Amino acid sequence: MLQGVKRLAPFEWEVPVGYVPGMRVPGRFFLSDELAETLEEGAVQQLANVATMPGIVKNSLAMPDIHWGYGFPIGGVAAFSIEDGVISPGGVGFDINCGVRILTTPLSEKDLTKKRELIERLFNAVPTGVGAKSSLRLTQKELDGMLTGGARWAVRQGFGIESDLVHCEEQGAMAGADPAAVSAKARQRGMPQSGTLGAGNHFLEIQAVREIYQEDVAKAFGLTPGQICVMIHCGSRGLGHQVCTEHLKVLEGATKKYGISLPDRQLACAPLTSPEGEAYFGAMAASSNYAWANRQVIMHMVRQVFSEMFHILYEEMPLVYDVAHNVAKLEEHNVDGRRMQLCVHRKGATRAFGPGAPDLPGEYAPWGQPVIIPGSMGTSSFLLHGTRGAMERTFGSTCHGSGRVMSRIKAKKVLSGRKVKDALAADGIIVRAPHDGAIADEAPEVYKPSAEVVRVVDSAGISRLVARVVPLGVIKG
């Protein structure tokens, strides 16, 4: 482990105040000895840098998927007081509300006799990859509806059912969205991309439930062994990226305007209550709603394909849950024995609210929020539930995935997309992508092992394992 970093518990480490000048609070991260071998010094430096920001509360945090990012480390969590805290695009990321949802079906593995045909139908139904364009033809008024209404807007347009909304974080729409803070260029990028999968680590995956760890919780989530599920991972596409790009420039100026001293210009921020901070929050919330609507439309397309191919009812494919990462949200948490309104940034981290959280569906309330931690192509994904421990120690947060150990550029240099595809096919996993190059940079070996990552959060008590699902077919952006 890095010099100066202290071990607090088997899976918890502290970066003490003084690790970098100006730290207001300690840094904390969660990691096993095995994962510590992949820990980047630069990511720990970023974690410490975040601890210097005005108004930060309790700790700067990072989950076991920690790796170097823009400003904040990916896997980073930080909460700021409303009164004297800040908001930072570097603590959200460029792909605003990149998130994951999983739906179940009444099918089992033996029913997938035409798996390749299913993958092809889904690939043809869901526009995928760089430059993918939606079949939707939105007007500016409709885009405004998407930016304010999120998944609610999509359901009202016929892309889903009402029960979907109670199974989304924030019921699929974040309050405070301001479409006026989304530029014409961002809107132009978003207009043709609603209902598209995108590129990078985004995917649509056919999965089977392979292992159940807690039968009572799995039953509440609607999961049974051997059941076929579909996982969708995507975000706000070009619209969110443009929003981040533009508001970063504004907030770089605001950092100077408000006399905020930072060790890294990528942490550009503004007071939450400033005009610049409020404008970014409004644009970020609007982008988040676009992402929820995007996933909702994709799920509608998936349901249609399954209904047509397997003659099952649309309503027989319920949404288990949709969780967001890459957001900053206004939440109330206990801090040193008192309730505080905070702005919680989760970048490459996801919410893991515990039992009794106010916005959970009734059947989930005794257990806590469903948490979805996807693997990479060929590796298991996991469903977990949030805990009271997470509420006390991580502002109700856990990791969002496995975390990269190899850059996309390096992966494309050292790996062959064709060979990765063939190796997965030999294991019975069909991969479909716009081109083989889209496969190489998301190969299983470029990520930390998902099983080890979830072992850490389960052992640390910040989310508990419920079920393991394995990929049968993957569509990559």
Q: Are the C-beta atoms of residues 394 and 75 closer than 8 Å to each other? A: no
Q: Which of 96, 89, 91 is nearest to 190 (CA)?
A: 96
Give the CA radius of gyration of the chain: 21
| 220 residue type, one letter | A
**CB count in 10 Å sphere of residue 56:** 22
CB 377 within 8 A of CB 204: no
**Which residue type is seen at 345?**
H
**Pure H helices in 77-226:** 115-125, 140-156, 162-166, 184-190, 215-221
CA 19, distance to chain mean position in Å, is: 29
Q: Which of 329, 291, 296, 322 is nearest to 400 (CA)?
A: 322
333 is catalytic: no
DSSP state of 229: E
**284 is written with which tokens?**
């970020």
Q: Which two tokens stand for residue 143?
A: 């885009």
Tokens representing 124?
Answer: 């043809």
Q: Which member of 67, 385, 400, 435 is catalytic?
A: 400
What is the helix (H) or strand (E) element at residue 292, kind and residue range?
helix 275-310
Are 284 and 96 in contact by the 8 Å Cβ rule? The answer is: yes
**Count of other CB atoms within 10 angstroms of residue 52:** 21
Measured CA distances, 314 to 118, 160, 304 (Å): 16, 9, 7
User: What is the C-alpha separation between 304 and 195, in angstroms, rounded?
Assistant: 14
Q: Tell me which residues are annotated as active site.
A: 400
